[in-house]
Amino acid sequence: MTKDLLVFESVSHAYGVARVIDDMSFTLHDGEIGCLLGSSGCGKTTVLRAIAGFEPIAAGSIRLGGRLLAGDGVSVPAHEREIGMVFQDYALFPHLNVEDNVGFGLSALPRAERRARVEAMLDLVGLGAEARRYPHELSGGQQQRVALARALAPRPRLLLLDEPFSNLDVDLRERLGREVRDILKHEGVSAILVTHDQHEAFAVADKVGVMQGGRLLQWATPYTLYHEPAQRFVADFIGQGVLVPGRVTAPRCLSLELGEFCGLLPLGFAAGDDVDVLLRPDDVVHDDASPVQATVVARVFRGADFLYTLALPSGQRVLSQVASHHDHALGEPIGIRLELDHLIAFRRQ
Amino acid sequence: MPGTRAPLRRLPKMSALPALKTAAVWRWRLPVLLLSLCTLVPLGVLLPALFNPDPGIWAHLIDYLLPQLAVNTAILLIGVGAGVLAIGVTLAWLVAVYEFPGRRFFNWALMLPLAMPAYVLGFSQLGLFDYTGPVQTLARAWTGSSEWVPSVRSSGGVVLVLSLAFYPYVYLLARGAFATQGRRALEVGQSLGLSRAEGFWRVALPMARPWIMGGLMLALMETLADFGTVAVFNFDAFTSAIYKAWFSFFSLDTAKQLASMLVFIVFVLVVFEQRARGRRAYTASARGGQQPRIALAGVQGWAAAAWATLVLLMAFVLPFGQVLWWAYQGWAEEANAVLVDNALRSLMLSAMAALLVGAAALLLAYAVRRDGGGFNRLLSRVATLGYAVPGTVLAVGVFVPVAWLDNQLIALFGAWLPEGTGSILKGSLAVLLLAYVARFMAVGHAPVDAAMHRISRSQEEAARNLGLTGARLVARLHLPLLKGGLFTALLMVFVDVMKEMPITLMTRPFGWDTLAVRIFTLTSEGEWERAALPAVLLVLSGLLPVILLSREENKG
Amino acid sequence: MMGAVLAAVAGVAQAEELVVYGARGEQLVKPLFDAYQKETGDSVRYVMDKEGPLMERMKAEGANSPADILLTVDAGNLWQASQMGLLKPYKSKLIDANVPAHLRDPAHNWTGLSIRARTIFYNTQKVKPADLASYADLASSKWKGKLCLRTSKKVYNQSLVAMMLAEQGKVATEKTVKGWVDNLATDVFPDDTKLLEAIAAGQCDVGIANTYYYGRLMEKKPDLPLGIFWADQKGKGTHVNISGAGLARYTKKEAAATRLIEWLSSTKAQNLFADVNMEYPVNPKVKPDVKVAAWGPFKQNLINVSNAGSRQAEAVMLMDRAGYR
C-alpha cells in the first residue's frame, strides 16, 4: 500500500510576467525516488526550489505527508519543512572539515548521538577515512558524497537533489547514480532529483517527469515514458527514435512506407487521418528477406550492437538496432521490416 | 586532429635539475623580496634604536604611561574591532541579501565615509557633540542642562568615531562576499534546518570570514596608526606615546622603540589570523552570480533603512555638512588658484600611486600564488605592515635611507655632478611613490588577494593545459578574473593617498603641495575652519572613486 | 657712493635663492618672502613640515642639506635643533640689537622673531579680573571645578611648565600642576580655540591660552563673554614664547641667509611677521597691531626662552606624574 508523500497540486510560479511553472501537478509516493527531466530553462530547478521553500508560489499548493507547506496563504519557512537538499555545486562549507560538514544539521542532537550519526553517514557513503579532511582536499566524487551525507544526516522526510552529478565525469556519474539510489533506498528516503540527462533519470528514479516550458508533460515510470509517451515532445525527448508519417486507412489500421499494420493502432483515430508514428531502433529489424530495402547512411558500433541510420526510398530516415556481427558498409542497401508489439502515433499537426 | 592541438606544457619539476634549482626557487621569491624591501627598509631604520634604549625615559614610560597605554590600546582594538564589524557586517548583509527601501542608494552611499579623513570626521563630530556644539547647546536650551548627554571626548567617543570612519573597509569586502554567496549560504542552512538568523551566524558569516577579516585588519591597522583622530579627542593611544617620546622628550630612538612594539603587535595579529585559518581553503565559487534578493516587508524593511540612515548620517552627512558650512563661511578667504593646483596634484599623485600600488599588489599576490612557501608567505605579510606604522615614523624610515644613499652617491660621484648638487633621489617623485607603496600595500593587497583566492587551481591548470603560460596566462586568465578586486584596490589606494599627510609632507618633491598638505599648513596653527574648504575638495575628489568602487563591486 | 653702487650691482648680480625649512604655516610667511624678494631680489623656497620631521630631515641630509634657515614655532624646538647640531651661530650685531636678549639663544644659534603670550582668559559674566592673579593661583581651591586646560601634549603648555620649573623649582611647580588637575572642570581640550569657546559657553570659568587664538575668536564672534587677563603681573610677568629662526649648519649661503633673518627682525618686516597671526613683534621699536594693542600692555617674563627647550622633557614628566593629560 503506497502512501502519498509529496502532493504538488496546480502550482504556478512567475518571475515578473514570465511563467516559470505553469499549473503543474504531480504526486510522489512514500519511499519513491522521483526525477524532473528537461532541458535547461524548463523550470525544473524552480520546482525544486519551490518545494524546498526558497521560491514562493503564485498559485496551487504543496503538501508533504498531508501537511500544507505552501499555498492558501501559508508558507512554511524553508528550515521548518524537514526537506534536505543536495546542491549542484555541493555548497560544502570550506571552513569546516568533512565530519563537521556532515554534522552541521545535527546541532539539536546530544553530542554522542551526533557523533554516531555522522560516523554512520560517513560509513554509508564510504568516507570514514576522510573525516578530518577539508572539502578542497577531496575529489569531486568525494565532495558529492559528503554533500549527500550532510543532507541525509538530519533524516529529512524528502531529499532534493539539484543536478547532483553534472559536475562529474560520465564514468563516475553512472557509478554514483547507482550508489545514490542504493543509499536512498537503504535509508528509505524519498527524493526528487532534477537533471537534463535521461540516463541518470532512468538509472536513479522510480518516477520521471518530463518538463517543457514550465509544464509537466508526463509523470510516469521510466518504462511507461519510453514505451508509452503521452505527447509528441516526450516521444522525441526520451530515448532514440524517429517519427515517420503514415495514414490511417481503416479503424486501427495504418499505412506506412514500411507496410500496412492493423490491430496495433490505439482507438481514437479515424480513417484518413494523417499521423506520425514513433519508431524506436529496436522496432526496425534487419531482415535480408524483407521486400523493403533501405540504404545505410550512418553507423555507430556500440559493442553489443550497431545503431544504423537508414534512408528509405522516399528519403525518410529511420534508426535500426542490429546485432553486432551484421557489419554493413555505408551506402550498402539492407532489408528491414517492422516488428511492433504496440504502436505510438500522434495526429499530424 | 593532431598537429593543431597546442602542445601540453608542464612546469619544470623543481627537484629534477639541481643546477636550475636556485634560479627556479628565486623566480617567485625575488619579486616578493623586492616588494617587501619597500617596507623592510623603513622598518629596518627602527631596528638600531632597539639596542639603544634611554633608561630614564623608559622608567618614566613604564611608571606613568605604558599601563594606561596597554589598556587604551586594548580598548581601541576591541572597541573599534567590534564597532566596524557591527556596522560593516550588518550593513553589508542587509545590502547584499535583502531588498528594503533605499537599498540601491545605501549600497553606494555607505561607502562615502571612506572619502573623509578620520581626523576631519573626529574634529567635526567634536564640533557637533561637544559642550559648545549645537547638540548640547540645544539640550541646555530645552532641558536646562546638558550633563545627561554622554561626553564625546571619552574612550566611547573615540571608539565610535573611529568605527564610523573605518567601517567601510569591512562593509566593502564583506558585501562582495555576501553578494556572491550570502543567499546560497542561507539556503544551504535552511535545507539543514537552520532559520535565517541561525544560517547567518553559522553559515554565511563563517564562509565570508576571510573577506571580513581582511577588512577588519585594514581597519585595525589604520586605527593603530592613527594619530590625528586620537589627538582631537586627547585619547592616549600608542601613537600619542610615540609622538610624546619624539617631540616632547626629543628622543626619536624611544619613539622608534615604541613604533617597533606597535609593528610587533600588528604582526602578531596578522599571524594569529593566518594561523586560525589553518588548512581551510576559501575558494568560494561565484556560481550563480547575483541571486534574487529577499524582500524585507513592512517594519523590517524600514528598520533596515533606518539603521543604514543612522550610520550614514553620523559617519558622513552630519560631519560633511559641518565641514561644508565652515567652507562656505571661509569661501572668500580660501578660494584661490593655489587650491586648484593643490587639488590637481592630489589627484595626480593619488592616481599614480594607485596604479603603482595596484601593480605591486598584483605581483605580490601572484608570486605568492606561484610559490606559497613559508618564505613568500612571511615576506608578503611583512610587505603589508607599513599600514600599521604611524605615518610620520614611516616617513622618517623612508627618508633616512634615501638621504643616506644620496650622500653616498654624492660622495662617490660628486666630481661629475653639477656644483652644489644636494640631492639625487631625495625629493624625487619616485621616492614619494615608493613610500606610498610601503604605506598602502595592505590596502591594495587585501582585495587583490581575496580575488586571487576565488580563482581555483583547476582554472589555472586548465589554462596552462591550453598552452598559456607566464605573462599570457596572467593577461588572459588572472587579469580578467581579478579585474573587480584590482579595481577595488586601485580605488581604495587612490582614496587613501588623497588623505595621506605625513609621508607626503616629508618626501614630496618641492612644490608638490596637495590638499592634505594644505590642510596641514592651515591646521598647524589651529585654524580648523579655514582648512574646511580644502577638506571639502578632498572629500569631493574622493567621492567619484568611491562611487565607482561601489558600482564595480555591485557587478559582483 | 662708489661702494654703494658696487654693492647694489653685486646684489643684483647675485640674486640668491634661499631654502627655508619651516613649521610655521605657509600662509603666515609667504607674504613676508614675497616682500623680501621685491626688496632684495633674493627669493625663498619654503619647505613646510612638522618640526620633528624637519629636524630628522636635516640630520639625514647632513652636509648635503639644501636648507639655509630653519624657521619654527616655540623656542623648545629651536633649542632641540641646536642640540642636534643642526644650526650654526649667526654673526650679526643687527639681530642682537633688534631682539631683546631673553628672546634669543645666548649662544646665537637662533633668535625669536615674534612673541606669543600665553595667559589667563575668563568668562566675564562669572569672574571679575580682581579675582585673578597668577598661573599658580589657578591651582588654589577656589577654582575647584572651574578651570579649563588644553592637553599637556601641546608644546605651549610644556614650555609654560618648563619656565615655571626654571623659576620656581620642581616642588612648587609640581604642586601647582597638581592643583590645576584637581580644579579641572572637564577633560583637557585638544586646542585653545575649543577651550576658549568652553569658557565662553560657561563649561568652566577660567583657562590658559595663547592670545592670538583669543584674537581670532573674538574677531569672528565679538560678543563672546570672554576677557583676557595678564598673568603674574605682580610677579615675574606673563609667560611668552617665540616663533623664531636659526641658520642651518650646512648653509652655503650664510651671508644671504643672515641678511634674511636680519630683515625679518627689522622694523620693516616685524609687523608683517607678527600681525598676520595677531602675535607680538620681538623688536621693541615696533608696535603691535591695533587689535592686539587693544588688549593693553603687559609685563613679559624676562627669563630666557631657551629654558623652554632645556627643561621640556623634565616638564613633560612632571605633568605626567601630576596626572595632567
Percent of chain B with pLDDT over 90: 26
Q: Are residues A192 and A295 in the same domain?
A: no
CA distance B309 to chain A (A): 29
| Closest CA in chain B for residue C61 | B403
SS3 A287: coil
Residue A24's beta-bridge partner residues? A11
pLDDT at B278: 67
pLDDT at C304: 94
Structural domain harbouring A85: 4-237
Structural domain harbouring C140: 116-239+306-322
Judge whether A51 and A62 are in contact, CB under 8 Å.
Answer: yes
pLDDT at C58: 94
* E strand map for A1-88: 4-15, 18-29, 33-37, 59-64, 67-71, 74-75, 83-86
Contact (CB<8Å) B248/C312: yes
What integer is the mean pLDDT of C107-133?
96
Phi/psi region, residue A112 (left: phi>0; alpha: psi -120 to 50; beta: rest), is alpha
Looking at per-residue pLDDT, the higher value among A164 and A194 belongs to: A194
Distances (CA, A) of C310 to B553, C25, C245, C324: 56, 25, 17, 20
What integer is the mean pLDDT of C305-318?
93
Contact (CB<8Å) B190/A154: no
Angle at B430 between CA B428 and CA B435, to 5 degrees: 105
The answer, yes or no, to whether residue C290 has pLDDT greater than 80, is: yes
Q: Could you give the number of structural domains in chain C?
A: 2
Choosing among A81, A88, A90, A93, which should be mutated to test the B contact, i.e. which has the most B CBs within 10 A? A93
What integer is the mean pLDDT of B71-96?
95
Which of B191, B283, B285 comes nearest A85 by C-beta? B191
The answer, yes or no, to whether residue C291 has pLDDT greater than 90, is: yes
Percent of chain B with pLDDT over 70: 90
SS3 A256: strand
Looking at per-residue pLDDT, the higher value among C203 and B6 belongs to: C203
- Chosen domain end from A237, A266, A283: A237
pLDDT band for position C284 (50/70/90)?
Answer: very high
Q: Are residues C178 and C315 in the same domain?
A: yes
Q: Are residues A247 and A223 in the same domain?
A: no
Q: Are residues C104 and C244 in the same domain?
A: yes
Instruction: Return the partners of chain C (3 or more C-beta pairs < 8 Å).
Output: B
Tell me: the pLDDT tens digits for B530-544?
888 999 999 988 888
- Rounded to the nearest 10°, the torsion over CA A242, A243, A248, A251 is 70
CA distance A10 to chain B (A): 24
| Cα torsion C127, C132, C135, C137: sign | negative
Say what the ipTM of the complex is.
Answer: 0.88
Q: Are residues A75 and A183 in the same domain?
A: yes
Which residues of chain B have a CB within 8 Å of the CB of A53? 190
What integer is the mean pLDDT of A196-200?
88
pLDDT band for position C10 (50/70/90)?
Answer: very low
pLDDT at C7: 44
pLDDT band for position C298 (50/70/90)?
Answer: very high
The answer, yes or no, to whether residue B71 has pLDDT greater than 80, is: yes
Which residues of chain B have a CB within 8 Å of the CB of A96? 206, 280
pLDDT band for position A61 (50/70/90)?
Answer: very high
Phi/psi region, residue B413 (left: phi>0; alpha: psi -120 to 50; beta: rest), is alpha
Q: Are residues A97 and A118 in the same domain?
A: yes
- Chosen domain end from A220, A237, A254: A237
Contact (CB<8Å) B282/A95: yes
Q: Are residues C213 and C257 in the same domain?
A: no
C219 in contact with chain B, both atoms CB, cutoff 8 A = no
CA distance B531 to chain C (A): 12
Q: Are residues A107 and A186 in the same domain?
A: yes
The CATH number covering residue A203 comes to 3.40.50.300
Which of C23, C62, C203 comes nearest B524 by C-beta? C23
pLDDT band for position A339 (50/70/90)?
Answer: confident
The CATH number covering residue A313 comes to 2.40.50.140
pLDDT at B18: 47
Rounded mean pLDDT of chain C? 92
C187 in contact with chain B, both atoms CB, cutoff 8 A = yes
Helix %, strand %, coil % of chain A (to 5): 25, 35, 35
Choosing among B131, B155, B522, which should be mutated to test the C contact, i.e. which has the most C CBs within 10 A? B131
Which of B132, B244, B420 comes nearest C197 by C-beta? B132
Distances (CA, A) of B284 to A304, B211, B273, B443: 44, 11, 19, 22
Q: Are residues C94 and C149 in the same domain?
A: no
What integer is the mean pLDDT of B294-316?
93
Q: Are residues C190 and C310 in the same domain?
A: yes
What nine digits make up the cell of A192? 526528487
Judge whether C315 and C161 are in contact, CB under 8 Å.
Answer: yes
The secondary structure element, H or E, covering residue A227 is helix A222-227
pLDDT at A239: 84
pLDDT band for position B2 (50/70/90)?
Answer: very low
Which of B188, B280, B283 comes nearest A91 by C-beta? B188
Which of C191, C203, C213 comes nearest B131 by C-beta? C203
Task: Tell whether C298 is covered by a domain.
Answer: no
- Return the half-sphere exposure (C-beta side, CA atoms, 13 A cut-off) of residue B351: 8
| Closest CA in chain A for residue B458 | A136
Q: Please state, in angstroms and rounded to a whole number, the distance separating the CA atoms of residues A159 and B154.
A: 56
Quote the distance between the C-alpha of residue A333 and its chain's center: 37
Judge whether A183 and A148 are in contact, CB under 8 Å.
Answer: yes
Rounded mean pLDDT of chain A? 88
For cell 529529512, what's the residue? A156
Task: Tell whether C299 is covered by a domain.
Answer: no
Distances (CA, A) of B248 to B219, B244, B263, C298: 28, 5, 22, 29
pLDDT band for position B291 (50/70/90)?
Answer: low
pLDDT at B454: 74
For chain A, which residues lie within 8 Å of any Cβ of chain B, measuring from their own Cβ? 52-54, 77-80, 82-85, 87-89, 91, 93-96, 104-105, 108, 134-137, 150-151, 154, 160
pLDDT band for position A83 (50/70/90)?
Answer: very high
Task: Tell whether C230 is covered by a domain.
Answer: yes
Task: Tell whether C285 is covered by a domain.
Answer: yes
Q: Please state, in angstroms and rounded to a whole number, the distance separating the CA atoms of residues A43 and A45.
A: 6
Q: Are residues C29 and C42 in the same domain?
A: yes
Contact (CB<8Å) A91/B279: no
The CATH number covering residue C285 comes to 3.40.190.10
Q: Are residues C92 and C37 in the same domain?
A: yes
- Return the half-sphere exposure (C-beta side, CA atoms, 13 A cut-off) of residue B460: 19
Q: Please state, in angstroms and rounded to a whole number, the distance separating the CA atoms of residues A5 and A190.
A: 8
For cell 551506402, what's the residue? A331
pLDDT at B284: 53
Looking at per-residue pLDDT, the higher value among C10 and B25 belongs to: B25
Tell me: the pLDDT tens digits for C242-253?
999 999 999 999
Task: Tell whether C279 is covered by a domain.
Answer: yes
Q: Are residues C318 and C200 in the same domain?
A: yes
pLDDT at A105: 86
SS3 C224: coil
What integer is the mean pLDDT of C288-301?
95
What integer is the mean pLDDT of C76-105?
95
Q: Are residues A192 and A61 in the same domain?
A: yes
Choosing among A46, A51, A54, which should be mutated to test the B contact, i.e. which has the most B CBs within 10 A? A54
pLDDT band for position B148 (50/70/90)?
Answer: confident
Task: Tell whether C300 is covered by a domain.
Answer: no
Choosing among C45, C61, C188, C205, which should be mutated to test the B contact, i.e. which has the most B CBs within 10 A? C61
The answer, yes or no, to whether residue B550 has pLDDT greater than 90, is: no
pLDDT at B8: 39
CA distance B405 to chain C (A): 10
The answer, yes or no, to whether residue C6 has pLDDT greater than 70, is: no
Which of A94, A108, A150 comes nearest B282 by C-beta? A94
Q: Are residues A77 and A178 in the same domain?
A: yes
- Range from A95-104, A231-240, A257-266, C85-94 that averages highest in pLDDT: C85-94
For cell 639625514, what's the residue? C60
Mention every residue, 6+ apart, whose C-beta is less than 8 A from residue B206: A93, A95, A96
Task: Tell whether C18 is covered by a domain.
Answer: yes
Choosing among A88, A95, A192, which should be mutated to test the B contact, i.e. which has the most B CBs within 10 A? A95
Q: Model pTM? A: 0.83
Tell me: the pLDDT tens digits for B191-219?
888 888 888 998 889 888 888 988 999 89
- Range from A298-312, A321-335, B358-372, C210-224 that averages highest in pLDDT: C210-224
C107 in contact with chain B, both atoms CB, cutoff 8 A = no
Residue type at C242 in one-letter notation: I
Judge whether B436 and B353 are in contact, CB under 8 Å.
Answer: yes
Domain range annotation of chain B: 25-46+53-277+289-331+338-554
- Chosen domain end from A237, A260, A294: A237
Q: Are residues C73 and C134 in the same domain?
A: no
Which of A134, A154, A160 comes nearest B192 by C-beta? A154
What integer is the mean pLDDT of B76-103?
95
Instruction: Return the partners of chain A (3 or more C-beta pairs < 8 Å).
Output: B
Task: Tell whether C314 is covered by a domain.
Answer: yes
What nine digits make up the cell of A149? 551525507
What integer is the mean pLDDT of B452-463?
73
Question: Where is average pLDDT lowest: A12-26, B243-257, C26-40, C196-210?
Answer: A12-26
Judge whether B305 and B232 are in contact, CB under 8 Å.
Answer: no
Q: Are residues A36 and A102 in the same domain?
A: yes
- Tally the residues of chain A: 349
CA distance A184 to chain B (A): 17
Residue A308's beta-bridge partner residues? A299, A320
C200 in contact with chain B, both atoms CB, cutoff 8 A = yes
Residue type at B294 in one-letter notation: I
| Architecture of the domain whose range is B25-46+53-277+289-331+338-554 | Orthogonal Bundle (1.10)
Contact (CB<8Å) C325/B502: no
Q: Are residues A93 and A229 in the same domain?
A: yes
| Closest CA in chain B for residue C276 | B525
For B26-29, the CB contacts below 8 A with 24+ separation are B27/B370, B27/B371, B28/B367, B28/B368, B28/B370, B28/B371, B28/B376, B29/B367, B29/B371, B29/B373, B29/B375, B29/B376, B29/B379
CA distance A151 to chain B (A): 7
Contact (CB<8Å) C316/B249: yes
Question: Residue A286 — φ and ψ, nearest 5°?
Answer: -75, 125
Q: Are residues C176 and C49 in the same domain?
A: no
Contact (CB<8Å) A154/B195: no
What integer is the mean pLDDT of B424-444?
90
Rounded mean pLDDT of chain B? 84
pLDDT at A325: 86
CA distance C61 to chain B (A): 5
pLDDT band for position A166 (50/70/90)?
Answer: confident
Q: Are residues C189 and C246 in the same domain?
A: no
Short-list C103, C116, C87, CA closest to C21: C87
| Closest CA in chain B for residue C198 | B132
What integer is the mean pLDDT of B46-71?
89
Contact (CB<8Å) C52/B392: yes
| Closest CA in chain C for residue B245 | C313
pLDDT band for position C1 (50/70/90)?
Answer: very low
Helix %, strand %, coil % of chain B (to 5): 75, 0, 20
pLDDT at B6: 39
Q: Could you give the number of structural domains in chain A?
A: 2
Chains B and C touch (3+ CB pairs under 8 A): yes
What integer is the mean pLDDT of A277-296?
88
Q: Please state, in angstroms and rounded to a whole number, the distance separating the CA atoms of residues C303 and C306.
A: 9
Q: Are residues C77 and C155 in the same domain?
A: no
- Return the half-sphere exposure (C-beta side, CA atoms, 13 A cut-off) of residue A295: 9
